[in-house]
Amino acid sequence: MSEMLLEKDESQVLKTLNIDVEKLNHYMDLFSQWIVTQSYLPQNFSETCRKKFLLWAKLDFEKAKEKFKKFCYNPCVYKEFYSDRVLTFEDDIRSSLDVIYEIPMPKLTRNGYRVTVAKLRNADNLNILTLSRFITIYLDYRIHKDTIVAGEVLILDMERMKPHHYAKLFNATYLKLVKLYALSGPLMVKNIFAINCHPVLEKGIALIRSVLPQKIAERIKILSNPKDLHLHIAPEYLPSDYGGVEKSIDSFHDLWGQFWMSQKGFIEELDVCKPIGPIPEEFKFYENEFGVDGSFRKLNLD
């Protein structure tokens, strides 16, 4: 997000990912040509967005195409997260900013990773569907507008989440959203650090692991001492709340709040970029694996 996040030379990102620039450019040409031939898919996604699918797939052309198609069909398949986002935009933003901090740090790490802090502010007011709709806006902006990154490092601070909030967050709606982006978004998750986690809430972390690919699930770590973040992330890339040199999350939150309220035009443009025609059978199956007859029916949410 050039308006809020600092740009970074792509060379370090590609070095971390061990990607050759000339080879990447070659596959970008092929990918762009393939999208043109798929006239039913959105044609105006940015070059940066398309590049992220190739990087996620480590230049595996077929994997990139499959994930790109899934991503394009998200608004058609998961209507509860995407329908009428323009109409509910202001309410979704205001309500969500009241209950959560979602703060991507402005600088990439030396390896080209983006550190993000997620923390509930007021769990008593949490509406999981409203929050999920806001998260789709946040992630869409990251995917379409943020510079390329070598990976995502998420800090999940559960300090203000108490055991009686468990069912409000760790339910089928939220788990569906988590799995949706794990399967269709070009997000390369490197680490997720859960801190200030009540023992009861560790069951929720176990639920999240259960719906993620094993490789990502194994990257979720519960840190008993928040100061242990410094063993994994340099203070240069942390907010002052966690002993870092960046501004506090409250300061960032105020800035991001103003920014999000100015982004309705982006959502208006994005929400008309949908595939043309009926949903293919392969994506109807993709929808069903999240439904009442799918994997969530087997989860114990008590």
Instruction: Please say if the pLDDT value at position 290 is more than 60.
Output: no
End-to-end CA distance of the chain: 39
pLDDT tens-digit profile of 56-85?
999 999 999 999 999 999 999 899 999 999
Query: What is the model's pTM?
Result: 0.90
pLDDT tens-digit readout, 112-171: 999 999 999 999 999 999 999 999 999 999 999 999 999 999 999 999 999 889 898 999
Asked if residue 234 has pLDDT above 90, the reply is yes
Q: Determine the pLDDT at residue 9.
A: 72
Neighbours of 25 (CB within 10 A): 11
Contact 194, 156 (CB under 8 A): yes
Strand, helix or coil for residue 211: helix
Residue 156 falls in which region: left (phi positive, over 0), alpha (psi -120 to 50) or beta: beta
* Buried residues in 76-101 as b, exposed as e (16+ CB within 10 A): bbbeebbeebeeebeebbebbbebbb
Cβ count within 10 A of residue 6: 11
Judged against a pLDDT cut of 90, whether residue 293 lies above it is answered with no
Tokens 């001492």 -> residue: 225
